[in-house]
Amino acid sequence: MINRLIEYALKQGFLVIVVIGVIIGLGLYYIVRLPVDAVPDVTTNQVQINTEVAGLGPLEVEKLITFPIEFSMGGLPSVMETRSLSKSGLSQVTVVFADHVNIYFARQLVFERLQTAKEQLPQVFNAQPIMGPISTGLGEIYQYVVTGEGKDTMERRTIQDWIIKPRLLTTPGIIEINSFGGFVKQYQVLVDPKKLITYDINLRQVFDALASNNANAGGQYIEHASEQYLIRGIGLINTMQDIENIVVHATAEGTPIYIKNIANVVVGPEVRYGAVTKDGKGEIVTGIAMMLKGENSRTVVERVKQKVEEIRQNLPKGVDIVPFYDRAALVNDVIHTVISNVIFGIILIIIVLTLTVGNWRVSLLIAFSVPLTIILTFSGMYHLGIAATVMSIGSLGFGNITDGSVCTVENIVQRLTLRKRSDSYTETILRASQEVGRPIFFAVGIIIIIYVPLLTLQGVEGKMFKPVALTVSLAMLSSLFVALVIMPTLSSLIFKKGVKTKEHTEESDNRMMLFLKSRYRPLLQKVVFRPRITLIIVASCFLSSLVLVPFLGSEFMPELDEGAIAINVRRLPSVSLKESVNLSTLVEKTLMKYP
């Protein structure tokens, strides 16, 4: 089968050239669209349910909100685990599904159960459970600060929530924009308890009056003078004066009691549980763009940048969006590293082969196999949905992907050098390629088999190492195709006029190889004729190396230098938000003293 494949490729030289062109063209198309990230995404296939209940303590949140929701999720198919978190004013339930479950189907299942869970929640809290965004732990791809000269944190937070956030959400690939810092603007009615007693009014009447006096109503239409007029009841609140003039109750004499008679209407902040500080200059307003699960972070970040430029043109004077984290920078570093390594590997291959083989055409031909194999590998990764990460790309070795091409081309050159005049070039190349075809096939197969156990891993380990095994397997299969199909055909075109050598010896070696063999042969003879001593030395070296195993370092993930240092300040659990902000500002001011 292998011999027939090689023979067919040599006979169909033009077809192989067309195939090379198609591989390069489609490969470049796929590479541009290949998901690229710094590290593999190990986030589980999960659906989060978040419920805000303002003012409720952790114990009450657990009993009244978290437990009914978590209990209602029992019995869902393909659920691996269900966990929950109850904090002051917040309930979070996480349902983890098996990896094979479609995330949208999982959310549909959770949504159906939520309808039942809502009926079990106390109506007095008006709790509304909502599902979290379809994102992962690596979804935070773009973070920015909203700045504004002469505008306080409440104004900047309002601009973030009502101008920037809605427009950024229209960016393809963005599933959510999270706002942090500043104060959420509210129109607050501060009721005076003494005046409630004076006018004999309770808080429920105030709530009902505010709710019922903030709505529009429709009254169908009337016809008059051959025209139709729509009837509208305008009751929406537009100003603070509208709130103050809402009638709460009336005295026995019919005198109306307004909101302004029993309360003060002011603009104030919503109760908050966190804040953001920067550079020791106090609080700021920030936003985080969350990427949709499965999207290409590099392309999505570029879209976000374009959208930010559009939004900047419509922001109030003095307000700006200043990014401080951009995933594309790290991704571009990964891409730059890959390109640099490929170029360096090609140059190194050309130098080594030129010195050992002594033919620059051979060096260039084998060097061409590197980018061709990588293009084929990336095309396969695109179709299998494997992201290009440090783990997957880092598993590629130039030695493995060029071994087959080196063996094929070197044997072809050797046979062409020793060719008799009666033998044709094509027949010589065919025999030379078939001689090494089967050994190359089995060598590649053995390497692929080594990585097969990694495909059986599950959970976090599977998410990390399955892409590595698949990437290596694709690379080795691609190198096998290049070595058995592409290299013989290109050799028949490049070496049409034969191979020129300075010396036509039995092995046609250059000076470099003659020098190396002169040193290698005596050593080989000593090793072959003294097998016991050789085995003892090898076993001793192996056992000695085991002593170093405990001193080897180990890491769960490869080290990435993002140029940042993460500092975690530990405080008492009961520390107030104000004191926490002061401590963070103090730490930042201290750090800013250093260059």
**What tokens does 290 get?**
């969350």
Domain identity same for 28 and 48: no
pLDDT of residue 169 exceeding 70: yes
Domain identity same for 369 and 485: yes
Task: Residue 392: name the closest of 446, 454, 445, 344 by CA.
Answer: 454
Please report whether residue 481 resides in a domain.
yes
Domain identity same for 372 and 416: yes
Domain identity same for 128 and 213: no
pLDDT of 504: 43
Q: What is the DSSP letter of 74?
A: T
| C-alpha distance from residue 284 to each of 2, 168, 581 (Å) | 66, 19, 11
pLDDT of residue 37 exceeding 80: no
Per cent of the chain over pLDDT 90 is 41
More confident residue, 113 or 35: 113
Domain identity same for 120 and 245: no
More confident residue, 373 or 11: 373
Please report whether residue 62 resides in a domain.
yes
Query: pLDDT for 418-445, tens place per residue?
Result: 776 666 777 888 888 888 888 899 999 9
Please report whether residue 531 resides in a domain.
no
User: Using 50, 70 and 90 to split pLDDT, how confident is the model at 218?
Assistant: confident
CA 444/CA 482 separation, integer angstroms: 12
Q: What is the mean pLDDT of residues 81-100?
A: 92
Handedness of CA 483, 487, 489, 491 (dihedral sign): negative
Q: Which of 457, 483, 498 is the last residue of a domain?
A: 498
Please report whether residue 206 resides in a domain.
yes
Task: For residue 469, give the H/E element and its range.
Answer: helix 459-481
Domain identity same for 232 and 114: no
Q: Give the best-scoring range by mean pLDDT among 113-127, 165-179, 566-580.
A: 165-179
User: Using 50, 70 and 90 to split pLDDT, how confident is the model at 409?
Assistant: confident
User: Using 50, 70 and 90 to split pLDDT, how confident is the model at 558?
Assistant: low
CA 453/CA 466 separation, integer angstroms: 9
- The number of C-alpha atoms within 13 Å of 218 and in the hemisphere containing its C-beta is 3
User: Using 50, 70 and 90 to split pLDDT, how confident is the model at 157?
Assistant: very high
Please report whether residue 58 resides in a domain.
yes
Please report whether residue 195 resides in a domain.
yes
3-state secondary structure of 570: coil
CA 538 from chain center: how many Å?
45
User: Using 50, 70 and 90 to split pLDDT, how confident is the model at 548?
Assistant: confident
pLDDT of 179: 94
Q: What is the mean pLDDT of residues 549-559?
A: 72
Domain identity same for 29 and 52: no
**pTM: predicted TM-score of the whole model, two decimal places:** 0.79
User: Using 50, 70 and 90 to split pLDDT, how confident is the model at 64?
Assistant: very high
pLDDT of 503: 47
Domain identity same for 29 and 57: no
More confident residue, 389 or 122: 122
Q: Which of 135, 170, 195 is the last residue of a domain?
A: 135
pLDDT of 505: 47
CATH number of the domain to which 86 belongs = 3.30.70.1430
pLDDT of residue 350 exceeding 80: no
Q: What is the mean pLDDT of residues 453-482?
A: 88
pLDDT of 422: 62
Q: What is the mean pLDDT of residues 160-172?
A: 95
Please report whether residue 554 resides in a domain.
no
pLDDT of 323: 93
- How many other CB atoms are found less than 10 A from the CB of residue 79? 19
Please report whether residue 553 resides in a domain.
no
Domain identity same for 23 and 51: no
More confident residue, 457 or 309: 309
Q: What is the mean pLDDT of residues 87-115?
A: 93
Domain identity same for 50 and 94: yes
Q: Which residue has the tokens 């180990």?
A: 554
Q: How many structural domains is the chain composed of?
A: 3
Query: pLDDT for 531-545, tens place per residue?
Result: 889 899 999 999 998
Q: Which of 250, 269, 288 is the last residue of a domain?
A: 269
Domain identity same for 476 and 367: yes
pLDDT of 31: 86
Q: Which residue has the tokens 């791809």?
A: 141
Domain identity same for 20 and 90: no
Query: pLDDT for 245-275, tens place per residue?
Result: 999 988 888 889 999 999 999 999 998 888 9
User: Using 50, 70 and 90 to split pLDDT, how confident is the model at 511?
Assistant: confident
Kindly report the backbone phi and psi dihedral angles of residue 174, in degrees, each rounded to the nearest multiple of 5, phi listed first: -100, 125
User: Using 50, 70 and 90 to split pLDDT, how confident is the model at 556?
Assistant: low
CATH number of the domain to which 218 belongs = 3.30.2090.10
Average pLDDT, the chain: 87
Domain that holds residue 478: 2-33+359-498
CATH number of the domain to which 439 belongs = 1.20.1640.10
pLDDT of residue 80 exceeding 80: yes
